[in-house]
Amino acid sequence: MNIFRYDSPLMQFLTRAADLVWLNILVLLCSVPVFTAGAAISAMESIIYKLLHNEDVMVTKEFFIAFGKNFKQATVIWLILLVIEGALGYDFYYSRQIGTGFSEAMKTCAVVLFVLVFALMLYIFPLQAHYINKTKDIFKNAAIICVVHPVRTILMLVVQAFFIALGVLIVLDYRFIPLLVSFGISLPWYFCACIHMPVFDKLDGIDRNGNKIAPDNYKKESDSEEDSQEPDSDDADEDEVSDDGEEEEKTES
């Protein structure tokens, strides 16, 4: 087998790696104002979902389509999470400054809550990217999945913690910063998607190849408006007539 064929495992791996690198750069560029980071993460989740299901993806075009479509809700969600995590981070810092027995309990509580909210975030943006729901319902559903699938949640936290620690080490040595720019965001979220995507596939009633049709509330950008339109009554009547004719022929035979 020619390893340089476009459908060879090597070329598929290199293509996927290139997609993740470009996706990481797009997320970084679109997160510069900070408050837009939520929409960037949501758009990234949309692309990763398609990559995992082996769909043909035009990364740049579809990223910005998803970015614009999810901007309002994803930004609201991101700002809520940012405020909560910021408050918990301040509580941790303030508790360290006090240095009393009660402050130790506050510090522990702040760390636990910070991790829990971060775990919710790992489900919130995938849910927001793939399903049409109210913001409060997204938070509720994320909490339910987080509790119902604790092993997957822990695995995703381990993946994110590993890449965060790796990112800190890379920052300390500027020679490896290009690695952070290339894979620092897209790669850990890709691995997390590999962990939680089977849960979504089960909810959608599809396999990894997308063989079954997803529910109506699934955001599938490729669905055209024409598919949602009902057929004309004349066409429906003609179909019924042809079906009846076929049934009569089958009966006579």
Please enumerate in sequence order all residues whose Cβ is within 8 A of that of 249, keeping only pairs 6 or more positions apart, or say none: none
State residue 11 phi and psi, 5-degree precision.
-70, -35
The pLDDT score that the predictor gives to residue 103 is 72
Q: Has residue 111 been placed in a domain?
A: yes
Q: Has residue 220 been placed in a domain?
A: yes
Rounded to 10 deg, the angle between the 37-52 and 59-98 helix axes is: 130
Q: Has residue 176 been placed in a domain?
A: yes
The pLDDT score that the predictor gives to residue 87 is 92
Q: Has residue 120 been placed in a domain?
A: yes
pTM exceeding 0.95: no
Q: Has residue 1 been placed in a domain?
A: no
The answer to whether the CB of 104 falls within 8 A of the CB of 71 is no
Please enumerate in sequence order all residues whose Cβ is within 8 A of that of 108, keeping only pairs 6 or more positions apart, or say none: none
Tens of pLDDT along the chain (253 residues) come to 566 666 677 788 888 999 999 999 999 999 988 899 999 999 999 999 999 988 888 999 999 999 999 999 999 999 999 999 999 988 888 877 776 667 778 888 989 999 999 999 999 999 999 999 999 999 999 999 999 999 999 999 999 999 998 888 877 777 777 877 888 899 999 999 999 999 998 888 876 665 664 445 445 444 444 444 444 544 444 444 344 444 444 444 3
| Residue 114 CB burial class (10 angstroms; 0-12, 13-18, ≥19) | middle
Q: How many domains does the chain have?
A: 1
Range of the domain at 221: 9-246
Query: What is the DSSP track for 157-181?
Result: HHHHHHHHHHHHHHHHSGGGHHHHH
The pLDDT score that the predictor gives to residue 248 is 41
